[in-house]
Amino acid sequence: MTNDAELREKIQVLRDHGQSQKYYHTVVGWNCRMDGIQAAILSIKLRHLEEANLLRRERALQYNQAFEGIEGVATPFEADYARHVYHVYAIRVQERDEVRRFLEEKGIGCGVHYPIPIHLQEACRGLGYTEGAFPIAENLAEEFLSLPMFPELTEEQTEYVARCVSEVTGVEALV
């Protein structure tokens, strides 16, 4: 608690990864946003983590199969030695913002993780990197689009999302 507006703002930025607004990092910060209610809910949800991860993997497999052979859609990679939990299912597409608008018009919520590469964040300005220093990271920041992904996502919903992505990219999905 504080009655100092400047101090309050500084603390809020620090506790949220150094973000002054979503995806705009002005300083190096932390993730310190959990409260007691969230902790209580999490203690129950953790008992169901394996099942939730399994359900996300099933939906990810469904997306992967639907996008197989669609040249304009790059899907997440899972190494042979690991098991992806698909907290986020991010694809790479050209004209990402156009695809995002189309999906939102179809009632599909999607996200962009992360639109500004870390070397271009204000918080990292002191490192001396400028645009062009990491062209792959910069390119990826323009192409990544996160599709709906959560344990309760149904086969039908996943199929609908895949069909819409296929429609906007101009190729028939294998659903």
Residues 91 and 151 in one domain: yes
Tell me, yes or no, whether 75 and 111 share the same domain.
yes
Residue type at 138? Answer: E
- Same domain membership, residue 7 and residue 93: no
Q: Note the pLDDT tens digit of each residue in 129-156.
A: 999 999 999 999 999 999 999 999 999 9
Q: Which domain holds residue 22?
A: 1-33
Q: State the average pLDDT for the chain.
A: 92
Regarding whether 122 and 94 lie in a shared domain, the answer is: yes
Residues 85 and 11 in one domain: no
Q: Which residue matches tokens 């906007």? A: 168
In this structure, the strands spanning 19-21 and 24-25 are: antiparallel
Residue 42 resides in a domain: no
Query: pLDDT at residue 9 above 70?
Result: yes
Same domain, 112 and 54: yes
Counting the structural domains of the chain, the total is 2
Question: What band does 126 get if pLDDT is binned at 50, 70 and 90?
Answer: very high
Whether 60 maps to a domain, the answer reads: yes
Helix (H/G/I), strand (E/B), else coil: 9: helix
Across 56-163, where does the E strand assignment appear?
A: 73-74, 89-93, 144-147
What percentage of the chain carries pLDDT values higher than 70? Answer: 96
**Residue 64 maps to which CATH number?**
3.90.1150.10
**Within-domain flag for 119:** yes
Report the candidate in 103, 95, 50, 51 with the shortest Cα–Cα distance to residue 73. Answer: 95
pLDDT in tens, 29-46: 878 777 889 899 999 999
Predicted pLDDT at 172: 55
Residue 175, in any domain of the structure: no
Q: Residue 96 pLDDT > 90, yes or no?
A: yes
**Residue 111 near residue 50, CB atoms below 8 Å:** no
